[in-house]
Amino acid sequence: MSISTWEARFKKVPVDYIVPVFPVPYVCNTGETEYTIVAIQGLIDEQKRNYEEVFNTVSGASDIKLRIAGSGVKLETQARTSEKIEWSIDSSYMDYYQFLGESMALLPAFSSEAYYSTKVSSTIATSLIVAVPLLAMPRLLQTYPFLPPECTWTVASDSVADAFAELRSCRDQLDARRACLMELRRQLIADNVKKLQSALYGSASEYFRYKVSRTLKSNKIEDMLRSDLSI
C-alpha cells in the first residue's frame, strides 16, 4: 500500500489530544526597568535552539537582557556576554516558572526544521503556562495556528535583531497580551477536561471503567474521578 493511501486513511481517523497547560501561582515582576527581558526555556542544547544568533544580538544591545532556563549545562559561548545573561539551571518547577514569568517575551529560537513539521515545542505550552507572550515570527504562527496573534508579539521578520527592535516599542501592550494568554489557557484546560471526561465515561470506555471498578472493588472511584476532573 502506498504512502499516499496511508495518509488518506489516516486523515479519516479521529484524534483527540490534550494540550499540556495548567495555571501556576507566581508573581509577575516586569514593571519599570531599564532592560527588556527576553527568555529561552527548555533543554539547553545547540541542536535544538539557535543560541548563537541570540547571543550576538544581545551582546550588541544595551537595553536587552536574556534569561535562559532549563536543564543541562551553560554553553561555552555564553562567556562573551555573561553580564547580559541570567541562568536558571535544573531549578524547581516553581522557581523555573517564576524566573520565566518575569520576562516580557519568550523566544523559541528554533534551530531544527522539525519544530515546523513533526515536533511540538515545549516553549509554546510554557508561554501559556506563565502567560508570557512568544516572539512569534511569521512561520511560527503558520505552524501553530491556534495561537492568536494578539496573544503573541507578532513580528514581521525572522531576524532576532529586528524582533528585539519591534519589541522595545510594545511594552505598554504587555498586560493585554498576558490577559489573552490566560483566557486561551482557561479555554484549553476546560477543553482538556471535557476530553478526559469523554474518554473515561464515554461508551468506548465501558471496558476500561469495568476493569477499574473491579480492581478497586468499589464504585466510589467514579465519584472521585468526577470530582477531580471538575473545574
- Is residue 116 within 8 Å of residue 146, measured between CB atoms? no
pLDDT one digit per residue (tens) for the chain, 231 residues: 445 565 666 677 777 778 889 888 765 655 555 678 999 998 888 777 888 888 888 888 888 899 999 887 767 666 555 688 898 988 888 899 999 999 999 998 887 788 888 888 899 999 999 999 999 888 888 888 889 999 999 988 778 888 888 888 888 899 999 999 999 999 999 998 888 877 777 654 565 556 555 655 554 544 544 444 433
Phi-psi region of 230 (alpha: psi -120 to 50; beta: other; left: phi over 0): beta
Find the distance separating the first CA and the last CA of the chain, reported in whole Å.
Answer: 46
Single pTM value for the model: 0.77
